[in-house]
Structure 1
Amino acid sequence: MARPTPELIDALRRTAQKLTNGAPYQWGHMGGCNCGNLAQELTKLSKDQIHRYAMQRYGDWNEQVKDYCSTSQMPIDLVINEMLNAGLTLEDLKHLEKLDDRLVLLQFPLEKRFLKHNVRDDVVAYMHAWANLLEEQLLDKIQLSDLQPATQLVFAN
């Protein structure tokens, strides 16, 4: 599961909001699919740039992740590197493309867990649920002892 970072949580929510507001979505397009839309947000590349990079190698996101090499300097590997640096794992990318991470799906009521991987509204719901789960994990990691004590104010009489 992804490393819960404010950057990743925010990127998931921004991506979901953009999809809700009508951002281009096309599951069969490497830059406009589930991973492609999140990649746009994390890398600031356009959907066409991401698609062009991915087409330099064969396959969908699952194949790209399977063939990923952190030192290859292939453009799609550089995109994946940025996504990993934001807190994602290779498994997260596979799950995002299929909307099938068990922990994310457990955030939904039983009757709403059967998401379709290529339906915009399901992608939006999945990203919101995932962001909420990561936010809970992040908040659980914060200990009150980690916070700096407030300085005491002394009032003179």
Structure 2
Amino acid sequence: MARPTPELIDALRRTARNLKNGAPYQWGHMGGCNCGNLAQELTKLSKDQIHQYAMQRYGDWNEQVDDYCSTSQMSIDIVINEMLNAGLMLEDIKHLEKLDDRQVLVRFPLEKRFLKHNVRDDVVVYMNEWANLLEEQLLAKITLPNFQALERAEFEAV
């Protein structure tokens, strides 16, 4: 599962909002599909640029991830590297394209877990729920100081 970073959480929510508001969506287009739309947010590249980079090598996002090389200077590998730097793992990219990460799906009621990977509305709810999950994980890592104990200690020291 992805590292919960503010950048990734925000990008997931922006992508979902853009899709909900009518951003171009075409599952068979490497720059306009589930991963392509998120890649646009994370890299600030256009859908056409992402698609062009992906077409320099064969395959869909799953195959691109399988062939990913962190030291390559291929354009699509640079795009994937930026996605990974935002907190994604390679498996997350594959799961996003198919909307099939179990940790995300289990958060939906049973009757709502059967999302279609190429339906815009399903992509929107999946991304929003994934962002919620990552935000919960991020917040769980934050511990605030016990201010009451600090105040007591300061008072007793006086």
Fold match (TM-score > 0.5): yes
Aligned to 2:156: none
TM-score (norm 2): 0.92
Deviations 1:94-124 (A, max 9, x none): 0000000000001111100000000000000
Residues 90 and 146 (structure 1 numbering): CA distance in 2 closer, same or farther, change over 3 Å? farther
**Sequence identity, in percent?**
85
Once the two structures are superposed, the pairs formed by residues 112-127 of structure 1 within 5 Å of their partners are 112-127=112-127
Instruction: Decide which structure has greater helix share.
Output: 2
Alpha-carbon RMSD across the aligned residues, in angstroms, is 1.7
Aligned to 1:50: 50
**SS state at 1:145 partner:** coil
Structure 2 residue 65 is matched with structure 1 residue 65:
yes
Number of residue equivalences = 150
Aligned to 1:38: 38
Which runs of at least 4 in structure 1 moved beyond 2 Å after TM superposition? none
Aligned-residue offset at 1:146: 9.5
The gaps in structure 2 that reach 5 residues or longer are 152-158
Once the two structures are superposed, the pairs formed by residues 72-87 of structure 1 within 5 Å of their partners are 72-87=72-87
Deviations 1:3-37 (A, max 9, x none): 00011000000000000000000000000000000
TM-score (norm 1): 0.92
Deviations 1:46-73 (A, max 9, x none): 0000000000000000000000000110
Deviations 1:126-149 (A, max 9, x none): 0000000000000000011399xx
The gaps in structure 1 that reach 5 residues or longer are 152-157
Aligned to 1:155: none
